[in-house]
A = this chain, B = another copy of it.
């Protein structure tokens, strides 16, 4: 099998106007960015309003392990397979963050014969959306310091400025900084820091907004600082919301690219999956649903975090009704959940597979509890044995579900036709989607509900300060917001080493944060890193153009 990048480069691209034609998008509604990327014109999107929605298919996964599950690959493969069996299909995934590519992360465009192209662009500047988010975020930051500099009419307490700055770069030196040094003309010294751009609340707002007007309202509601009396100051108080929307005008238009098999792919938005909800944009998903009969999308991390947020934040707020869910699993990941180390995955071990299966079982049951029918995609690796596959299939059948072996990585859409047929069938059964908790449940009770029903935790621990803070926000009008959990993705618990399907553990809440613009309460359980660092030998040191002008070392 050739490298991903070789496959991507060898791919013959369909002109992007023809990709759009598959969904009935007229050429005039596609704004070209380079030869193989386009944005969907906002006016065209507005014109779609009256149409009926296609069926929304969520691809989620078991808890991620170092073995890799292939969630994006499966999203792409399923999309290609649906197209192959004659369905009008679009896929919707997130854009990639630039910074991590210079560390050690691989690309975010799928892999093997299930990729979205142009892969290099997607892992570099793409259509500039993230740069626009960075600029909008940092304009607000500059205006806050500028406001304090020129007399501070809003009486911002400079010790209580919560709005940091962002950069799309892995740069640990910027995590904690002091700004405003150098004397009177540079403002007031204060401690702050930078997060990576995907952690920006502006990104979350962009991804949840229905249009530019809604985006401006959300940006305006962002709480950026507090006064000495602890009353909040918003982005609208600073007067930055209008200019931020101007900076985000193009970024708000979904990007259209294609898979290796020319299935239309909307790649748009990319909020962090811990302190934000980790899904592609609402506007891309909604546009795709108006244009295609089947829309395949994915959520971040495993189903405990990603699918739960997809359902309880994105679907709830955007009025989306998912028709089916695919849970991606691999034999290798089952083995790791069953207790094996990464170097023990090469040989057959049916017992370990069986021991790991309850992790998958829990995700199946959780997802079904949202009223969404489930199929398991067993993403095939060459080391998988018949006996191991049979063990998973038998286990899944016992959960009242079906596991389908998929070979899209090696064979493209042809390798996922059985999965596609199963998905079409499931989506016709009539899902009865409902979020996990009602809007008007108390904030702490919402957290408790997620902890007990999704994580199977025995208890939720939060000190008085946190409970008081939650009550304060309820009183301030934020009671109706959903919860955005930030915990380790590697376990149902907060202990990343506790694999499988643990029960009765304790969920300790470390911190709560208000994302009033995005519209959720972030609940942090454990250490959450919002500005990564580079490794000892960063990938950047080997990234370069070769003699033919091709990019080397990026993936």
Q: Does B191 contact A172, Cβ atoms closer than 8 Å? A: no
- Copy number in the complex reads 2
Give the contacts of A106-154 with B (CB-CB under 8 A): 124-125, 128, 131-132, 134-135, 138-139, 141-143, 145-146, 149-151
Q: Does B170 contact A549, Cβ atoms closer than 8 Å? A: no
A243 in contact with B178 given A131-B131, A172-B149, A533-B146 (CB within 8 Å): no
Give the contacts of A159-216 with B (CB-CB under 8 A): 165, 167-182, 185-187, 191, 193, 212, 216
Closest to A180 in B: B173
Complex Cα distance A33/B121, Å? 14
Which one of A338-346, A481-489, A535-543 is at the B interface? A535-543
Q: Does A173 contact B187, Cβ atoms closer than 8 Å? A: yes
Q: Does A149 contact B186, Cβ atoms closer than 8 Å? A: no
Q: Does B167 contact A173, Cβ atoms closer than 8 Å? A: no
Q: Is A453 an interface residue when CB atoms closer than 8 A count as contact?
A: no
Q: Does A187 contact B167, Cβ atoms closer than 8 Å? A: no
Q: Does B178 contact A181, Cβ atoms closer than 8 Å? A: yes
Q: Is A396 an interface residue when CB atoms closer than 8 A count as contact?
A: no
A178 in contact with B180 given A540-B139, A545-B242 (CB within 8 Å): no
A186 in contact with B181 given A169-B139, A551-B249 (CB within 8 Å): no
A177 in contact with B176 given A132-B125, A141-B171 (CB within 8 Å): no
- Closest chain-B Cβ to A96's Cβ sits at a distance in Å of 14
- Closest chain-B Cβ to A106's Cβ sits at a distance in Å of 15
The contact of A35 among B32, B171, B249, B540, by CB within 8 Å, is B32
Q: Is A240 an interface residue when CB atoms closer than 8 A count as contact?
A: yes
Q: Does A171 contact B138, Cβ atoms closer than 8 Å? A: yes
Chain A, 512-555, contact with B by CB distance < 8 Å: what is the 0/1 string?
A: 00000000000000000000011010101111110001010110
Complex Cα distance A134/B143, Å? 20
Q: Does A245 contact B33, Cβ atoms closer than 8 Å? A: no
User: What chain B residues lie within 8 Å of A249 (beta carbons)?
Assistant: 545, 549, 551
- Closest chain-B Cβ to A373's Cβ sits at a distance in Å of 40
Q: Does A545 contact B212, Cβ atoms closer than 8 Å? A: yes
Complex Cα distance A458/B191, Å? 48
Q: Is A31 an interface residue when CB atoms closer than 8 A count as contact?
A: yes
Q: Does A146 contact B177, Cβ atoms closer than 8 Å? A: no
- Closest chain-B Cβ to A27's Cβ sits at a distance in Å of 11
- Closest chain-B Cβ to A237's Cβ sits at a distance in Å of 11
- Closest chain-B Cβ to A128's Cβ sits at a distance in Å of 4
A239 in contact with B33 given A176-B181, A533-B146, A533-B149 (CB within 8 Å): no
Complex Cα distance A193/B544, Å? 28
User: What chain B residues lie within 8 Å of A242 (beta carbons)?
Assistant: 540-545, 553
Q: Does A174 contact B179, Cβ atoms closer than 8 Å? A: yes
Complex Cα distance A165/B168, Å? 13
User: What chain B residues lie within 8 Å of A143 (beta carbons)?
Assistant: 102, 534, 538, 540-541
Q: Does B131 contact A245, Cβ atoms closer than 8 Å? A: no
Give the contacts of A226-244 with B (CB-CB under 8 A): 239-243
- Closest chain-B Cβ to A198's Cβ sits at a distance in Å of 14
User: What chain B residues lie within 8 Å of A179 (beta carbons)?
Assistant: 173-174, 177
Complex Cα distance A196/B182, Å? 17
Residues in chain A within 8 A of chain B (CB atoms)? 31-35, 42, 98, 102, 124-125, 128, 131-132, 134-135, 138-139, 141-143, 145-146, 149-151, 165, 167-182, 185-187, 191, 193, 212, 216, 239-243, 245-247, 249-250, 533-534, 536, 538, 540-545, 549, 551, 553-554
Q: Can you report 6 residue pairs joining A to B where beta carbons are below 8 Å apart? A: A33-B33, A177-B180, A212-B545, A242-B540, A242-B542, A242-B543
User: With contacts A174-B179, A177-B181, A243-B543 known, what are 20 further pairs, Cβ within 8 A?
Assistant: A32-B35, A33-B34, A42-B549, A124-B246, A135-B169, A138-B167, A145-B172, A145-B173, A146-B172, A165-B174, A172-B187, A173-B179, A175-B182, A176-B180, A177-B178, A240-B541, A242-B553, A243-B540, A243-B544, A243-B553
The 10 closest A-B pairs by CB, nearest first: A242-B544, A176-B182, A131-B131, A142-B171, A145-B173, A239-B541, A176-B181, A243-B543, A243-B540, A32-B32
